[in-house]
């Protein structure tokens, strides 16, 4: 007869191995990039334009380009996303329309990033004649971030106790006043967390900006939102696959800066979440 205790031991060991199989490579990836990228990262690398066909110099325009794109995306997506979350959590009834909206959000979150790129190309670049530009890229990234912002904002709104709304309404506050003065201020930390997570995602995306904004090589800063710009993730793609004989250090350095940027945003989000959770008064 099989011994159930031993079976359990073996099973748990296998589960543990599976977990290691995921976690260890993550650690390795981060460690390798830090170890090989750190020597390349210095002030000049961060502040200089790329030189010698991107084999030397720095990545400053790519960093700034990514900052522009992410900022543009958030200016576009944050108001729409938060208002959509307010609609879903405060106004929407339990009906067919709500069901369809939720399904649309799920689908928006699942659309492949390269399809967002196609969409941005067709709508902003071609149809609206923006050309490949920061504005086209930002809007594309913005629409892509929308489901993250809606979902996390909605969770934040949901976490504000219903009784606060009831009290506010009982004092004669209208629905919007209640949302504006009670619900939103108390959901702010959660909304902020979601926004930063969305930003992190947008900062790391390449496919949506491929045909909407990203410049292969543009060693200066853009002058207006209707210009192209370099961007960190695309730059990493370019120097890894399109340009021969790039010093490995430069590639790792670029990867490190991108990874650090994205992880930093995630860290900020986690810290905000943690801090406010501790501060919660109810």
The window from 42-50, 67-75, 115-123, 187-195 that contacts another protein (CB under 8 A) reads: 115-123
Closest to another protein by CB, 223 or 241 = 241
CA 93, chain centre distance (Å): 30
B/e letters for 19-52, b = 16+ CB within 10 Å, e = fewer, are eeeeeeeeeeeeeebeebbeebbeeebeebbbee
Tokens, residue 41: 């990262």
From candidates 56, 64, 101, 272, binder to another protein by CB under 8 A: 101
- Does 135 contact another protein by CB under 8 A? no
- Does 83 contact another protein by CB under 8 A? yes
From candidates 64, 118, 268, 272, binder to another protein by CB under 8 A: 118
- Which residues partner with 50 through β-bridges? 57
d(CA 193, CA 137): 23
CA 7, chain centre distance (Å): 43
The window from 57-65, 103-111, 188-196, 222-230 that contacts another protein (CB under 8 A) reads: 103-111
- Does 253 contact another protein by CB under 8 A? no
- Does 207 contact another protein by CB under 8 A? yes
Question: What count of residues does the chain have?
Answer: 282
- Does 128 contact another protein by CB under 8 A? no
Please name which of 205, 188, 10 lies closest in space to residue 114, comparing C-alpha atoms: 205
Q: At closest approach, how far in Å is the CB of 9 from another protein?
A: 8
d(CA 121, CA 131): 8
102 contacts 195 by C-beta, under 8 angstroms: no
208 contacts 113 by C-beta, under 8 angstroms: yes
CA 94, chain centre distance (Å): 30
Q: Please give the DSSP secondary-structure letter assigned to residue 214.
A: B
Per CB under 8 A, which of residues 44..63 are in contact with another protein?
A: none
The window from 39-47, 54-62, 207-215, 222-230 that contacts another protein (CB under 8 A) reads: 207-215
From candidates 2, 21, 96, 278, binder to another protein by CB under 8 A: 21
Closest to another protein by CB, 19 or 42 = 19
From candidates 75, 103, 274, 277, binder to another protein by CB under 8 A: 103
Closest to another protein by CB, 29 or 46 = 29
- Does 276 contact another protein by CB under 8 A? no
Please name which of 77, 132, 79 lies closest in space to residue 108, comparing C-alpha atoms: 77
Q: At closest approach, how far in Å is the CB of 98 from another protein?
A: 9
d(CA 167, CA 203): 41
Q: What are phi and psi of 50, to 5 degrees?
A: -65, 145
The window from 45-53, 55-63, 97-105, 187-195 that contacts another protein (CB under 8 A) reads: 97-105
The window from 42-50, 53-61, 141-149, 188-196 that contacts another protein (CB under 8 A) reads: 141-149
Q: At closest approach, how far in Å is the CB of 43 from another protein?
A: 23
């Amino acid at each position: 007869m099989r011994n159930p205790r031993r079976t359990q031991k073996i099973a748990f060991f296998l589960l543990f191995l599976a977990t290691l199989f995921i976690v260890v490579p993550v650690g390795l990836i981060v460690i390798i990039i830090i170890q090989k990228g750190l020597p390349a990262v210095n002030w000049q690398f961060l502040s200089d334009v790329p030189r010698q066909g991107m084999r030397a110099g720095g990545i400053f325009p790519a960093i700034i380009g990514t900052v522009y794109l992410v900022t543009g995306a958030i200016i576009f997506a944050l108001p729409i996303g938060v208002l959509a979350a307010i609609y879903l959590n405060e106004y929407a009834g339990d009906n067919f329309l709500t069901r369809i909206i939720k399904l649309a959000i799920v689908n928006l979150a699942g659309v492949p990033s390269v399809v967002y790129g196609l969409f941005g190309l067709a709508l902003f670049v071609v149809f609206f004649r923006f050309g490949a530009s920061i504005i086209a890229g930002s809007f594309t990234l913005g629409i892509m971030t929308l489901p993250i912002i809606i979902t996390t904002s909605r969770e934040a709104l949901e976490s504000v106790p219903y009784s606060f709304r009831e009290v506010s309404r009982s004092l004669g506050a209208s629905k919007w006043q209640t949302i504006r003065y009670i619900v939103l201020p108390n959901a702010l930390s959660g909304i902020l967390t979601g926004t930063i997570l969305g930003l992190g995602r947008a900062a790391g995306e390449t496919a949506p900006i491929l045909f909407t904004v990203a410049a292969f090589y543009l060693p200066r800063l853009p002058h207006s939102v209707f210009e192209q710009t370099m961007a960190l993730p695309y730059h990493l793609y370019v120097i890894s696959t399109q340009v021969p004989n790039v010093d490995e250090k430069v590639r790792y350095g670029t990867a490190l800066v991108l990874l650090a940027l994205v992880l930093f945003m995630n860290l900020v989000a986690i810290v905000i979440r943690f801090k406010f959770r501790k501060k919660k008064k109810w």
